[in-house]
Every structure is written in C-alpha cells, then in structure tokens.
Structure 1
C-alpha cells in the first residue's frame, strides 16, 4: 500500500485561492445575474451573521475539496505507487484531474438542479463554470506545489 503525501501548504493556498475565486465569480462577475436567477433581490444585502456563516461554510467546503482532491491526484500519480515519474505534463495532469472530477462529480449535481429543482440553464452555466474553473485552479496549485 502506498503512502499518500499531502502538501498541506498547497491545500491551504488552494483553499484561499478558491475562496477568492468564489468571491470574484459570485460578486462582481456574476453576482447580480446569479441572485436574480436564484430568486433573490440583487440589491438586498444579507445580515452580517448570515454572511459570516456562509463564509465559514465556504472555507470548510473549500478545505474538504482541496484535501480530497490532493488525495485523489496523489493516488493517480504513478510515483505514489513506485512506478517512476508520470509521462503526463503538469498541464495535462491539471486538465485531466479537473475535467474528470467535474464531469463525474459536479456536472451531474448541477444537471440535477436543473432537472429537479427547476433551476435555469443560465444558473446552471454560472455554477458549473465556476465549479470547473475552481477545480482547475485548485489542481494547478496542488500539482505545481
């Protein structure tokens, strides 16, 4: 059984980067459209306690995503199994890890929101694009560090 090495500094940096990406994505870039598609008033600001709770949950979720993703990337690395270096470039490894994780775990949930929760395709596009970009950013940090 191989010993999985997790770079905790990379995980923490990925958590912070993903938090910043989420803020940019859901505030200046798509915040108003996202709020409208969710049925919220884009001009209404939530109370500070609601924002604080949301940010805490986001950091916890980002940690789980980065930690588990680091584990999965390590498991698929041939060096973890003592088979020598991977023949994939870092870019190919990032793209593969992000794409297949998004395709198998995020896209189905995002499609389910359209099918069962009656969310719009516009909201689907905003959310699933964020999920994919988030995975690319986190994978890049985990693989390059």
Structure 2
C-alpha cells in the first residue's frame, strides 16, 4: 500500500486542532468546562508547557493518521471523513467513557463538540492540500 502524506497539510491541521482547542476552552466555554471538569484556576497555571506541547504533539499524531485515511480524496471527502471521525469515533468513545465515569452531559457536549469541529476542520485542510 502506498500512502502519500502532505506534511504541510499535517502541520496545518495539527495547528488548527491546537488553535480550535485554545478558542474552545478559553473563549467559548471556559467557565462551564472548568466547572464541569473540576479544574481549578491553580491547576490551570501548573504544567502549562507540558499541556501545550503534549496537546500539539497529539494533534500532530491525529492529523497524520487522518491524513493517511483521507489520502487525495479532496476537500469534501476530507471534511466528511473528519466529521465522521469526530462524531462517530472520538465523540462516541468519549461518550462511553463519560457514561461509566458518571460525567455530566454538559462536559460531554463541550468535549465532543470540540472534537467534532476539530476533526472536521482537520479533514477539510488535509483534503484540500493532499
């Protein structure tokens, strides 16, 4: 099997995931997310470099795997594949965990929504550039 990867697409998709997360959790839903996740202001101040570096690297891994999955199918397929991954795999898996952990529906909606938006955007970028 021959898989062609556009490293520029992977990098831009990873950056997009990182930026969407920044907006999602610090501008759009910061207080609700923080309350529902049980994260204090003090906790948010500790380990910032590790959190940001780790989340960017993991976003890169997700972008790379999504890139291999999308191939050169184009922006439409890329966006649809990203939506399917975000909603059908990631949000569903997170939902199962949240059910067993007895987490709130609000926290699920915030985290699942982030993944759906992020993977859709990543897929569109990858599809457009590969």
Residue in structure 2 matched with residue 20 of structure 1 by the alignment: 19
Residue in structure 1 matched with residue 29 of structure 2 by the alignment: 30
TM-score of the pair, normalised by structure 2: 0.89
Q: Distance in 1 between matches of 2:86 and 2:105?
A: 17
Task: List alignment gaps of at least 5 residues for structure 1.
Answer: 78-85
Q: 8 Å contact 2:70–2:78 — kept in the other structure?
A: no
How far the C-alpha of 1:109 sits from its partner, in A, is: 1.8
Aligned residues: 129
Aligned-pair RMSD on alpha carbons? 1.8
Larger Cα-atom Rg: 1
Residue in structure 1 matched with residue 57 of structure 2 by the alignment: 60
Task: List alignment gaps of at least 5 residues for structure 2.
Answer: none
Give the match's secondary structure for 1:40: coil
How far the C-alpha of 1:16 sits from its partner, in A, is: 1.1
1:136 and 2:120 matched? yes
Give the match's secondary structure for 1:6: coil
Q: Distance in 1 between matches of 2:93 and 2:27?
A: 25
TM-score of the pair, normalised by structure 1: 0.80
Moved more, 95-104 or 122-131: 95-104
Q: Distance in 2 between matches of 1:18 and 1:134?
A: 5
Q: 8 Å contact 2:82–2:123 — kept in the other structure?
A: yes
Residue in structure 2 matched with residue 47 of structure 1 by the alignment: 45
Give the match's secondary structure for 1:46: helix
Return closer, same or farther for 1:95/1:16 CA change in 2, 3 Å cut-off.
closer
Q: 8 Å contact 2:86–2:120 — kept in the other structure?
A: no
